[in-house]
Amino acid sequence: MESSMTYNLDVTPNYSYIFEFENDFIHHDYKKWMTENWTVAFYYVGIYMAFIFGGQYYMQNRPGFELRRTLIVWNSALAAFSIMGACRTLPEFVHVLRNYGLYHSICVPSFIEADKVSGFWTTMFVLSKVPELGDTVFIVLRKKPLIFLHWYHHITVLLYTWFSFTEYTSSARWFVVMNYCVHSVMYSYFALVSMGRYPPRFLAMTITVLQLTQMVVGCAINIWAHNYMATAPPHTCHISNINIKLSMAMYFSYFVLFARFFYKAYLSSKPGKKAKSEPLPEPMPPTKRPTEVNGYPRQRNGVVH
């Protein structure tokens, strides 16, 4: 769908500084490679699932690894990456909303076709969904409970973002910025917990609320996109109907699963009903320190989003 001829792409904000690697970014090269190699994403998913079941079987009669230092580095690196991504994509998002409105923010992919800064970090966002599968590696090797939400989320996000990038889905502007912002808080929280520093429990609840809010906004954006597709002139809203359906199904299923987790983790009064795993580190009672294992506090790494 060649929509760049039907709208003005001169919508980039004035960045105070642009890095050389951002300025040298050529989005067409990445789109071409990902379009020609779209099956690679399914290979990653296959390897991922094989590791989950094979790894759990291998670790079944073995003690879990502690991996505390590695976990600190992992969470800190993802937190830094997410913060940087949020700082570099948010200015374009705000600029478009303020100067061009909601329709442009949903229907025009200028964030990647015209803005090299936002385009670079959008591409990095898509590619980051592969290494983020490493979250599950820690869970399996440390013998922590692995819930359906965790691996279902990782698989569907990887496949959907890869597919959306090959189409330059314009509504992805919203999805990328929201995800970067939520991940900035979430992985920073994980990094603190893996260091043995335990923020107040309400922060864990707040992160889950942010995740739920992200799902609600995602569904709303898809509804708006569907309405724009129905009322706008043909080929002026750069989203495919199949993409809207996939995105809506994905966000709605996430909302249901995250809401269920939130209820079990924070609202259920029965101790046995407490969520035992992801998407957030295990909540600790405010009057108790976490259980010590091999001299280190227990901590559970969480699901992305």
pLDDT digit string, tens, across residues 193-241: 999 998 888 899 999 999 999 999 999 999 999 999 999 888 889 999 9
Structural Rg of the chain based on CA atoms: 20
The answer to whether position 38 is within a domain reads yes
Decide if 15 is inside a domain: no
Answer yes or no: 153 catalytic. yes
In a domain, 14, yes or no: no
Q: Is residue 195 part of a domain?
A: yes
296 within a domain of the structure (yes/no): no
CA distance 178 to 197: 26
- pLDDT score for 151: 96
**In this predicted structure, what is the pLDDT of residue 93?**
97
**Residue owning tokens 């992200």:** 214
How far is residue 101's CA from residue 93's CA, in Å, rounded to a whole number? 10
pLDDT value of position 11: 66
Alpha-carbon distance of 109 to 198, in angstroms, equals 40
Position 296 scores a pLDDT of 33
Domain presence at residue 221: yes
In a domain, 55, yes or no: yes
Q: What is the pLDDT of residue 148?
A: 94
Q: Evaluate whether residue 213 is within a structural domain.
A: yes
Catalytic residue chosen out of the listed positions 27, 153, 183, 238? 153
| pLDDT for res 235 | 82
One pLDDT digit (tens) per residue for the chain, 305 residues: 444 434 555 667 888 899 999 999 999 999 999 999 999 999 999 999 999 999 999 999 999 999 999 999 999 999 999 999 999 999 999 999 999 999 999 999 999 999 999 999 999 999 999 999 999 999 999 999 999 999 999 999 999 999 999 999 999 999 999 999 999 999 999 999 999 998 888 899 999 999 999 999 999 999 999 999 999 888 889 999 999 999 999 999 999 999 999 999 888 865 444 444 344 433 332 333 344 333 333 334 333 34
pLDDT at 12 (0 to 100): 74
Identify the domain containing residue 66 by its residue range: 20-285
Number of domains in the chain: 1
